[in-house]
């Protein structure tokens, strides 16, 4: 009887704490709101570090519009200046000024030959693309999520994310292929308030787990939310203008 009473008291005490824990869907929605707000304009740099010891820094302007549209203008270096990228829903294109035309690209294609892929940069919509579950975390004061792709068109087949318990900000990500092998890992750093009430990691370091000497670093220089952009900015006919 005494053992039963102690067990009942333990359940009564533990119950409210468990009830307050976020669901996997809530955590994933938080990640999307931090890493992919619905509309914004930003200035971004990506530096790709190669296995031969060389590096190259890309300077970009990014614009995200309503209804899941995204556009990038490359400002440097000189070899890519004038290039643009456009995403409308599930479709992506790269515009090459010397050819004066746009070519289709895929989610899993490398972004400018670095260690991010196109979807890492241009499509943060994990709620739509992945099914999530909460798992035990091996990182103190974090929630851990395991994500499984809903279709073969996603950037990765599986992802594991760690989010800070105090504010839901991402800490680390691991990205897996169909074989279960880890392809990339990411560390999220330098949390800053970029717009009123909007805080996010301004630096993401993506490491190539297949070629250990490679990594790419994406740094947000400026970001403004709620930017209204004309619909024609997200059309192929507007590329190069």
* CA pair distance 190, 49, nearest whole angstrom: 20
* Dihedrals phi, psi of 88, to nearest 5 degrees: -130, 105
11 domain residue, yes or no: no
pTM for this prediction: 0.89
Q: Write out the chain's pLDDT in tens, 241 residues.
A: 444 333 433 333 333 333 478 999 999 999 999 999 999 999 999 999 999 999 999 999 999 999 889 999 999 999 999 999 999 998 999 999 999 999 999 999 999 999 999 999 999 899 999 999 999 999 999 999 999 999 988 999 999 999 999 999 999 999 999 999 999 999 999 999 999 999 999 999 999 999 999 999 999 999 999 999 999 999 999 999 8
User: Which pLDDT score is estimated for 68?
Assistant: 87
The residue range of the domain holding 201 is: 23-238
User: Which pLDDT score is estimated for 75?
Assistant: 98
* CA pair distance 157, 22, nearest whole angstrom: 24
C-alpha distances out from residue 132 to 38, 57, 149, 195, Å: 21, 34, 9, 29
Q: In terms of C-beta density within 10 A (0-12 exposed, 13-18 middle, 19 or more buried), how is residue 160 classed?
A: middle
User: Which pLDDT score is estimated for 4?
Assistant: 36
Count of domains in the chain? Answer: 1
Q: The CATH number of the domain where 194 resides is what? A: 2.50.20.10
16 domain residue, yes or no: no
The verdict on whether omega for the bond into residue 77 sits within 30 degrees of 0, i.e. cis, is yes
6 domain residue, yes or no: no
129 domain residue, yes or no: yes
Following DSSP, what letter does each residue of 95-139 receive, concatenated? EETTTTEEEEE-TTSBSTTSSSBHHHHH---HHHHEEEEEE--SS
221 domain residue, yes or no: yes
96 domain residue, yes or no: yes
Contact 48, 114 (CB under 8 A): yes
* Dihedrals phi, psi of 188, to nearest 5 degrees: -100, 130
158 domain residue, yes or no: yes
40 domain residue, yes or no: yes
């Amino acid at each position: 009887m005494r053992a039963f009473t102690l067990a009942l008291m333990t359940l009564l005490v533990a119950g409210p704490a468990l009830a307050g824990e976020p669901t996997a869907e809530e955590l994933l929605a938080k990640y999307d709101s931090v890493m992919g707000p619905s509309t914004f304009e930003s200035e971004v740099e990506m530096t790709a570090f190669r296995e031969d010891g060389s590096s190259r820094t890309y300077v970009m302007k990014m614009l995200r519009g309503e209804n899941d549209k995204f556009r990038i203008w490359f400002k440097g270096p000189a070899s890519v200046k004038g290039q643009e990228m456009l995403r409308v829903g599930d479709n992506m294109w790269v515009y090459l000024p010397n050819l004066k035309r746009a070519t289709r690209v895929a989610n899993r294609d490398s972004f400018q030959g670095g260690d991010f892929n196109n979807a890492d940069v241009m499509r943060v919509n994990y709620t739509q693309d992945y099914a999530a579950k909460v798992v035990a975390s091996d990182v103190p004061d974090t929630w851990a999520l395991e994500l499984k792709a809903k279709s073969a068109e996603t950037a990765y087949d599986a992802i594991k994310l760690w989010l800070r318990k105090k504010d839901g900000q991402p800490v680390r990500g691991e990205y897996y292929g169909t074989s279960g092998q880890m392809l990339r890992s990411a560390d999220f750093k330098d949390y800053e308030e970029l717009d009123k009430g909007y805080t996010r990691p301004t630096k993401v370091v993506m490491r190539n787990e297949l070629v250990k000497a490679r990594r790419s670093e994406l740094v947000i220089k400026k970001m403004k939310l709620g930017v209204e952009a004309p619909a024609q900015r997200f059309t192929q006919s507007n590329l190069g203008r």
